[in-house]
Amino acid sequence: MISVLVLFLCFGEIAYGTPIPAADWQYGAELRSADAIVLDDRTRFFEKTIARYRKVRVLSERGKAAVEFVDLTGTARKLEGRVVDIHGEQTAFGQRSDLVEILTYKAGGDTEKVRLLVPPGLTRNCIVELAWEIPAEGAIPLGRDEYFQAVAEPWHVRSKSFSFSALRNHPGWSLGKLRLVSQPFWTSANDRHFRLERSGGRQTVTYLDLPGRAAFPFGNDWRYDGRHYVQVVKTFPDFGLRTRDFWKDVCRNYVRPYLFDFEFKPSPEYRAWVEQLKAERAGDSVGAMGQLLRAFRARLASTRMPRWDQRLGSTESEVDPAKRIVAAFQRGYGDSFELNQLFYHLALDVGQPFVLVFPSSTEQWPFEPESRQPFYFNYNYPLFGVKQGDALVLFTPERYAYSPGHVPARFEGLEAMVVDPRAGWQPSFTVLSASGAASNRIVTQYQTELQADFGYSLSLERSATGAYAAAYRQAYYGLPPAERDEALAASWRDLGVFALTEASVAGVDDLDAVITEKIGLRVEKRPLVVSSYAFHPFPNSVRPLVSPHSWPPGRDQDLFLDFARQHTDINTIVVPEGWRLSGVNDWHRANAVGQVEVQAVQEGRRVTVRRELTLSRHRFGRAEERQLKAFLAWVDEAFEQTIAFALPQASP
Amino acid sequence: MRALLLCLLALLACSSRAEELPSWAEEALRAAEPFQVPKGAAVWTLLDRTRITREQDGSWLRSRQVVHRVLQQRGGASAASFTLDGAPDSSRIESLRGWHRRADGGVQSLDHKQVTTFGELGSGPLHLRTRTVAGFEQVGRGDILVFESLEREANYFSVTVAAVLGDNPVHVRRFELVQQAQDQIVIQPVSFEPWGLKAIRKPGVLEILDVPARANEALSPDDFLAFPYVILGYRGGDGDPMASWDAMARWYAAKFRACAETRGGLSAAEFPESLSLAAKSLADKISYRQVYLTSARGWEPLAGAEVERRAYGDCKDMVAYLAYRLDKLGLDLNPALTHINSGYDPSPEEPVQPNAFNHVIAAIPLAHSLGFAAEVERDGRRWLLHDPTDRYTPLGQLGLQLRGRTLMICDDAGAHWVTLPDSAVQSIRLDLHLRGRIDADHGLEGTLQLAEHGDAIGLRTLLGEGSLNDLLARLREQLALPGVVDLEPKLPNLDSQGVLTLECAVVWPSFLRRNAGGLKLPAAVTGGGYIKLETMEARQQPVWIPATTPTRWRLELDLPFPLKAIEDRWQWQDALSQLSWQAQPGRTFICDFSHERRRLHFGPNDRLAGLEAWYDYVDKYARFLINATCFF
């Protein structure tokens, strides 16, 4: 207890002139390859300030990054610190020139700056102490909605602690009649790496001996073992104490009245449209939802993805959400918020069964109901779900690139909160399913005629579905048809010297159609002086995955790929008389991650080459890393593979 | 703060709305009407006019007027925005206005909400430069975008440089300098002739007609000084650094001394020991960091004592620290200016302008030769050249970044131009020895031994920086080694000659790959896969072929089946490249392979020769790959 008290008394002050304790210099002898060690990092939250102290051992030139260019935010104040090198020489800092203030952005009346620390006197073997504070309200930095700090760093952490006092209500934060307070949240672990202490009205969490974070390919910054973070967030103090009651109150008393069920006064045109849609409803719930979404998109354009001939104006004339959606309907276009709200009311008015799905994403920390963070979800942008047996078919009204039944893969396979607006807004929690490989397909059919002088003509037709269709639609939708064709042609022109005879894109404007690309070209090729002729059967094919450069050992997390997929390439090649396919071209490899198959068959002058690549899932366990690497090696091999022809006589 | 406030007020002032374009923009539209629209362009800039006035206090008022016509929908986004670069201590936006006339005739003027200023925050240099972007939304085909700006600038030099080619074709590009009574104005076009640019010159005006867009081509020059540009400004009085290269060298010698707080006029070095000690002190203590809080810091070093306190600095700060150390010993040092990290090389024959140099090294006067490789003689004097930024290359030698470079050594007498002989620069090479066993799935398990000579691919530097992981990442990047290859390194060794050796256990899935009905060695070993170029007739730009690191491979592979290529030997040597391949086929496949490509530049008048050289090289390489590195 005494030592803790002394620690707090010294907190925020650098003891200039006193030597660094020997234990600090001796710590981490076994971490010989470490570039830096965070010996001590303490954050103390008060009502009006957040104070931070760091002590870092630098062990190499690279390790200086642990204390250099530290972003202290633009509001940082009372910076002080010192560098003590291994020989005891001390350099104090805190001068204006040591702290560089840089404008992040300035727009309208908003200005944001950062302050970067560039400590003087760093050596490749030193200890740096620094302390600073930032102004806060309710322990949340001024101007922010929450405080967030990831505990692990690229460097080994000996000790990192966070200390909170009891926090008060903040009247200024109220949402209508709902009171808000700030609330700390931390991830915990019941092992030697974690400690929770309460003393003198404060509670302190301490994380100990955390290994340095490596950047893993296909990793996720939010989801891995030992991913600890500390937050101070705003929450509703008057909502239910039990987790289930809390979320029920969030949905019924906040989300419903404040974000969805506001008074909507539709126009007669809207009423007539609803009646028309009701009359046209057909099929099961899923089919009817798809039909409704198509009708909705046909009537309303999106400012997020306008078609080339839709010249849309501003949507900011109204603040009141009810008036905004009325205005959006009248003008025939809206932004994402307006489109979602309008679709929500439309689905209710038409009698379409659906649930609202508030998803978490791979770009966010995992959702944990027990954390009781009411603002975890972005309620303005829900997915819409329709039950089909036990499954939930998902729709995203405002993302026009996604056909009915497809949603961005960053939501797939993750936690979500589901609410049925027709059943009392009672929330439930689920894990969304992920689309399979067959949902995201690219099929390319090539036709080639090879000539005896090694020139050739080639045509191809490529079609895409699912996530690929969304990507193509995003790229092409805003361009007039001629420019789409030109964009496709340009993507081929960079490949080499040939004459394009056709470049056309189809299926873009129909938001539900399969997108196809067609290419025709002719190559006047200079012959090589070899006894056989090698030919790449699938020029400019779409690579399913690019192999990362580096795979650090000791992976501690799952592998997140964006989506499962299937690529099929088929080339039907007509060769000159007497040409014979050389050697062995067929192979097939498969594992739990995926499979690769290449086949080449000759019948007379016709050679058919087929390449099939399947990535079976979009998420893999860490133990499957080796299998993914094997799969990537096969993909590389299949993409480089040429076929060769033995010629009837030596080439010219 | 005052500057920011004024800037904000200026931007707020532009929030008035207008229903029509300004008359000068209408005039530009009318003037372009009879002319044919450039083929293939997405945006046609009808007018790009820069007008500069020098104020009594020496500051410049720079006004810019731009008119774009959007020819294709895809050009809408780029035409919609207008960018101004600045810095709080040297520029201020006095006004910024914009108009968007839609194809249907409606005109919208720029609102202050459509203007954003960003700081440039990255992992590289730390500076206070800003970028202000004004932009309209929903811009499409047939629209007209008009922007007008007025900036006040405090320029470090009396002249500045403007690039001519941009992303869009320009109908009229006009530079105007307002001449006050005593001013001597400079508007000097450079490299216009080889590019066939049509320029009209009048007093104080340079008008360039029908400027083409800069094409996106492979193997193009990596520095804007290889393209046409214009030198603009006002000749200063006595001592203007831009009067001549000699004037610039004299100015910089004095400026450097004053900033570094050294005396100058000291002795030439007679013994190597004191130089070695000073260089070692620098390498041990000072790290490279570029922190510029004023625009002048682009040229002015910190005082040597301050560099010592900070323990970091940029190239000139490091040279200043060395000068400070030598000054204490009574020894002299001259700054030497050069250009690195791009293919551009300065020359005394080129017109004087401030962008010729981007790097400073130390030229230490010697009383006589001390036997170092990096000694040069010029104008009857001898210097030892040392680049403190390259802290892992020992005193007496220079690193790869300076190979073949031209330097301007600055002293009170003027400029001493030196082109570095190859002997002054460490020779570089990468030796790789791969041994192992190939399994039935074509995977390899074995060892890779490497020896890097002269920091050839930067491994020595990365080792010095303390990271084996970064070293391995660089090795992978340089060899284009697939990420799926596992490398388990032993500790690297650096010998007294600066040769770094490293041994790794290797697991390489799909090492041999199916190809052309047989198998082939991986491209990480054999190289290849070279860029194919556009049709020769359409080539716009000079051809700059970059060098590769001289590399030698020895392969010793035990196989479950014998390997036999069409040819066991292959070699060539010409002005651009050399290659040698010698294989011993069989179940134990042994091969010695070396390759090197030198840097070659083909200027605007030699484009076809450059393309021919590249095609010839690619063709030769393709023949080598299919004949010698594929097994059937």
pLDDT in tens, A389-405: 989 999 999 999 999 99
Distance separating alpha carbons of residues B425 and B403, to the nearest angstrom = 6
Task: Report the pLDDT value the prediction gives residue A432, as an integer from 0 to 100.
Answer: 94
Q: Which residues in chain A have their CB less than 8 angstroms from residue B112's CB?
A: 108
**Interchain CB contact of B63 with A (< 8 Å):** no
- Nearest chain A CA: its distance from B205 CA (Å): 36
Distance separating alpha carbons of residues B510 and B523, to the nearest angstrom = 12
Paired sense of beta strands B312-313 and B287-288, if any: parallel
pLDDT in tens, A271-324: 999 999 999 998 899 999 999 999 999 999 999 999 988 888 776 667 788 889
Question: How many of the other CB atoms lie within 10 Å of CB of B75?
Answer: 24
- Nearest chain B CA: its distance from A222 CA (Å): 23
Q: Which residues in chain A have their CB less than 8 angstroms from residue B73's CB?
A: 308, 478-480, 483
* Nearest-by-Cβ selection for B509 from A107, A548, A630: A630
Q: Which helix (H) or strand (E) holds B110?
A: none
Contact residues for B60 (Cβ-Cβ < 8 A; gap 6+): B52, B53, B54, B152, B153, B154, B155
Mean pLDDT value across residues A417-437: 93
Output the CA–CA distances (angstroms, integers) from residue A505 to A180, A469, A483, A521, B77, in the order listed: 53, 12, 10, 15, 22
pLDDT in tens, A162-174: 999 876 656 567 7
* Nearest-by-Cβ selection for A528 from B115, B518, B626: B626
Asked if B74 lies within 8 A of A483 by C-beta distance, the reply is: yes
Pick the residue of A59, A93, A532 with the most B CBs within 10 A to test the interface with B by mutation: A532
Q: Which residues in chain B have their CB less than 8 angstroms from residue A551's CB?
A: 483-484, 486
pLDDT in tens, A239-282: 999 999 999 999 999 999 989 988 888 899 999 999 999 999 98
The gap from C-alpha A242 to its chain's centroid, in whole angstroms, comes to 31
Supply the mean pLDDT for chain A. Answer: 88
Asked if A630 lies within 8 A of B141 by C-beta distance, the reply is: no
* Nearest-by-Cβ selection for B622 from A107, A528, A549: A528
pLDDT in tens, B434-460: 999 999 999 999 999 999 999 999 999
Distance separating alpha carbons of residues A251 and A600, to the nearest angstrom = 58
β-strand partners of B130: B86, B119
Any idea which of A94-103, A164-173, A558-567 has the lowest mean pLDDT? A164-173
DSSP state of B401: G
**Interchain CB contact of B515 with A (< 8 Å):** yes
Q: Which residues in chain A have their CB less than 8 angstroms from residue B8's CB?
A: 106
Distance separating alpha carbons of residues B318 and B336, to the nearest angstrom = 13
Give the angle A413-A418-A424 at the CA atoms, nearest 5°.
170
pLDDT in tens, A63-90: 998 988 776 677 888 888 999 999 999 9
Mean pLDDT value across residues A428-454: 92
Asked if B467 lies within 8 A of A59 by C-beta distance, the reply is: no
β-strand partners of A196: A205
Task: Report the pLDDT value the prediction gives residue A531, as an integer from 0 to 100.
Answer: 52
In this predicted structure, the answer to whether residue B433 has a pLDDT above a threshold of 60 is yes
Asked if A107 lies within 8 A of B464 by C-beta distance, the reply is: no
Which pLDDT band holds residue A5 (cuts at 50, 70, 90)?
very low
Asked if B309 lies within 8 A of A121 by C-beta distance, the reply is: yes
Phi/psi at A293 (nearest 5 deg)?
A: -65, -40
Helix-helix angle A268-280:A285-299, to 10 degrees: 140
Output the CA–CA distances (angstroms, integers) from residue B482 to A499, A551, A587, B485, in the order listed: 33, 10, 21, 6
Task: Report the pLDDT value the prediction gives residue B235, as an integer from 0 to 100.
Answer: 85
Q: Which residues in chain B have their CB less than 8 angstroms from residue A61's CB?
A: 287, 464-466
- How many CA atoms, within 13 angstroms, populate the side-chain half-sphere of residue A632? 21
Q: B278, B542, B549: which is closest to B403 by C-alpha?
A: B549
* Nearest-by-Cβ selection for A550 from B120, B483, B619: B483
Q: B442, B507, B437: which is closest to A553 by C-alpha?
A: B507
DSSP H stretches of helix in A213-257: 243-249
Asked if A120 lies within 8 A of B311 by C-beta distance, the reply is: yes
Distance separating alpha carbons of residues B421 and B289, to the nearest angstrom = 29
| Burial zone of B281 (CB within 10 Å; 0-12 exposed, 13-18 middle, 19+ buried) | middle
Question: How many of the other CB atoms lie within 10 Å of CB of A198?
Answer: 9
In this predicted structure, the answer to whether residue A519 has a pLDDT above a threshold of 50 is yes
Distance separating alpha carbons of residues B593 and B628, to the nearest angstrom = 11
**Pick the residue with more confidence: B170 or A226?**
B170
* Nearest-by-Cβ selection for A479 from B73, B285, B510: B73
Instruction: Please check whether residue B581 is in contact with residue B565, taking contact to mean a CB–CB distance below 8 angstroms.
Output: no
pLDDT in tens, B21-38: 999 999 999 999 999 999
Output the CA–CA distances (angstroms, integers) from residue A16 to A23, A84, A630, in the order listed: 18, 10, 55
pLDDT in tens, B545-562: 999 999 999 999 999 999
Give the angle B536-B542-B547 at the CA atoms, nearest 5°.
105
Q: How far apart are the first and last CA of chain B?
A: 73
Q: Which helix (H) or strand (E) holds A156?
A: strand A156-165
- Nearest chain B CA: its distance from A384 CA (Å): 29
Asked if B119 lies within 8 A of A102 by C-beta distance, the reply is: yes
Instruction: Please check whether residue B189 is in contact with residue B206, taking contact to mean a CB–CB distance below 8 angstroms.
Output: yes
Asked if B623 lies within 8 A of A528 by C-beta distance, the reply is: yes
Which pLDDT band holds residue B3 (cuts at 50, 70, 90)?
very low
Contact residues for A610 (Cβ-Cβ < 8 A; gap 6+): A568, A569, A570, A571, A597, A598, A599, A600
pLDDT in tens, B340-360: 999 899 999 999 999 999 999
Helix (H, G, I), strand (E, B) or coil at B57: coil
Asked if A549 lies within 8 A of B477 by C-beta distance, the reply is: yes
- Nearest chain B CA: its distance from A140 CA (Å): 25
- Nearest chain B CA: its distance from A635 CA (Å): 10
Question: How many of the other CB atoms lie within 10 Å of CB of B494?
Answer: 16
Distance separating alpha carbons of residues B448 and B450, to the nearest angstrom = 6
Asked if A637 lies within 8 A of B482 by C-beta distance, the reply is: no
Q: Which residues in chain A have their CB less than 8 angstroms from residue B517's CB?
A: 532, 581-585, 643-644
* Nearest-by-Cβ selection for A637 from B123, B486, B513: B513
Alpha-carbon torsion, ordered A336, A342, A344, A350, to 10 deg: -150
pTM recorded for the entire structure: 0.89
Supply the mean pLDDT for chain B. Answer: 91
In this predicted structure, the answer to whether residue B172 has a pLDDT above a threshold of 90 is yes
A309, closest residue in chain B (CA to CA): B140
DSSP state of B36: P
Task: Report the pLDDT value the prediction gives residue B531, as an integer from 0 to 100.
Answer: 55
Q: Which residues in chain B have their CB less than 8 angstroms from residue A219's CB?
A: none
In this predicted structure, the answer to whether residue A9 has a pLDDT above a threshold of 60 is no
Q: Which residues in chain B have their CB less than 8 angstroms from residue A483's CB?
A: 72-74
B616, closest residue in chain A (CA to CA): A526
- Nearest chain B CA: its distance from A279 CA (Å): 36
Mean pLDDT value across residues A489-516: 85
Mean pLDDT value across residues B522-528: 91
Distance separating alpha carbons of residues A338 and A336, to the nearest angstrom = 6
Q: Which two structure tokens, joined as six digits, stand for B506?
A: 């290797």
Asked if B311 lies within 8 A of A121 by C-beta distance, the reply is: yes
The gap from C-alpha A125 to its chain's centroid, in whole angstroms, comes to 38
| Burial zone of A76 (CB within 10 Å; 0-12 exposed, 13-18 middle, 19+ buried) | buried
Asked if A497 lies within 8 A of B476 by C-beta distance, the reply is: no
Asked if A583 lies within 8 A of B102 by C-beta distance, the reply is: no
**Interchain CB contact of B290 with A (< 8 Å):** no
Instruction: Please check whether residue B558 is in contact with residue B587, taking contact to mean a CB–CB distance below 8 angstroms.
Output: yes
Q: Which residues in chain A have their CB less than 8 angstroms from residue B309's CB?
A: 91, 120-121
Task: Report the pLDDT value the prediction gives residue B9, as an integer from 0 to 100.
Answer: 43
Q: Which residue has the tokens 């085909």?
A: B141
Q: Which residues in chain B have their CB less than 8 angstroms from residue A531's CB?
A: 566
- Nearest chain B CA: its distance from A603 CA (Å): 17
Pick the residue of B89, B139, B484, B519 with the most A CBs within 10 A to test the interface with A by mutation: B484
Q: Which two structure tokens, joined as six digits, stand for B262?
A: 């050294």
Asked if A106 lies within 8 A of B4 by C-beta distance, the reply is: yes
What is the percent of chain B where pLDDT is above 90?
A: 78
Instruction: Name the residue type at position B484.
Output: V
Pick the residue of B5, B113, B285, B310 with the most A CBs within 10 A to test the interface with A by mutation: B310
Q: Which residues in chain A have their CB less than 8 angstroms from residue B470's CB?
A: 62
Output the CA–CA distances (angstroms, integers) from residue A412 to A337, A357, A408, B232, in the order listed: 22, 12, 7, 57
B620, closest residue in chain A (CA to CA): A528
* Nearest-by-Cβ selection for A120 from B121, B310, B626: B310
Q: Which two structure tokens, joined as six digits, stand for B43?
A: 């945006």
Q: Which residues in chain B have their CB less than 8 angstroms from residue A495's CB?
A: 532
Task: Report the pLDDT value the prediction gives residue B464, as an integer from 0 to 100.
Answer: 87
Any idea which of A154-158, A376-380, A445-449, A523-527 has the lowest mean pLDDT? A523-527
Q: Which residues in chain A have their CB less than 8 angstroms from residue B123's CB?
A: 69
Task: Report the pLDDT value the prediction gives residue A32, as an integer from 0 to 100.
Answer: 67
CB pairs under 8 A between A and B: 191
- Nearest chain A CA: its distance from B114 CA (Å): 8
**Interchain CB contact of B620 with A (< 8 Å):** no
Distance separating alpha carbons of residues B65 and B147, to the nearest angstrom = 6
